[in-house]
């Protein structure tokens, strides 16, 4: 990421008031802790796969953890993650070479190629889900009953947001 992009992101955060910044800091601390809680097992799986972060994000998206598990065009994936089409093309090419994704012909326009996840790609996505879920369960098990109730209440209070509720339902379906 370029310094100008980081500066633009940081400027967007300045619009938040002190209370929102405090909430964001608490949330950042929690997410950082959760991300590394299980000694970085999820990061280890990604590292061992040899995938870059862009490749990992694309694979997770193709695996149904994003908008849909339908085959996607490279340009759609690039837009989803805010990367250039050439960058996403290179990431997808690596996924195809690794046997984690494949190019498929569009049913409506044979000139268009879409990217679909393979069985091997689904296996890696499943491994990532299992590792992440185990880490979350381990964290939750380490909370007191009162802490768990408070965390559940806080999360439940956010589930009236359509974006979070839809993501929660989607992830519940994918992880079955």
pLDDT of residue 78: 94
**Domain count across the chain:** 1
In a domain, 39, yes or no: yes
- Per the structure, the complete domain to which residue 78 belongs is given by 34-142
In a domain, 149, yes or no: no
**CA separation for the pair 125, 120 (Å, rounded):** 9
The average pLDDT across 27-38 equals 84
Q: At residue 12, does pLDDT exceed 80?
A: no
Q: Which two tokens stand for residue 32?
A: 């950082």
Per-residue pLDDT reduced to its tens digit, 151-171:
999 999 998 888 888 878 877
pLDDT of residue 59: 95
Taking CA 175 as the corner, what is the angle to CA 106 and CA 60, rounded to the nearest 5 degrees?
45
**CA separation for the pair 78, 89 (Å, rounded):** 8
Please report, for the domain that includes residue 92, its CATH number.
Answer: 1.10.10.10
Distances (CA, A) of 164 to 15, 157, 167, 169: 23, 11, 5, 9
Distances (CA, A) of 63 to 67, 145, 157: 10, 34, 28
């Amino acid at each position: 990421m370029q310094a100008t992009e980081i500066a633009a992101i940081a400027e967007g955060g300045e619009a938040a008031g002190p209370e929102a910044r405090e909430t964001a800091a608490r949330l950042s601390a929690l997410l950082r802790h959760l991300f590394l809680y299980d000694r970085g097992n999820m990061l280890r799986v990604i590292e061992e796969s040899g995938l870059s972060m862009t490749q990992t994000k694309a694979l997770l998206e193709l695996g149904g953890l994003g908008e849909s598990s339908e085959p996607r065009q490279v340009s759609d994936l690039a837009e989803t993650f805010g990367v250039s089409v050439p960058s996403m093309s290179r990431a997808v090419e690596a996924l195809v070479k690794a046997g984690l994704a494949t190019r498929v012909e569009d049913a409506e326009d044979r000139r268009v190629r879409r990217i679909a996840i393979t069985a091997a790609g689904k296996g890696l996505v499943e491994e990532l889900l299992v590792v992440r879920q185990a880490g979350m369960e381990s964290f939750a098990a380490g909370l007191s009953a009162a802490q768990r109730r408070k965390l559940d209440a806080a999360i439940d209070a956010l589930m009236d947001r359509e974006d979070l509720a839809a993501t929660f339902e989607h992830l519940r379906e994918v992880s079955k």
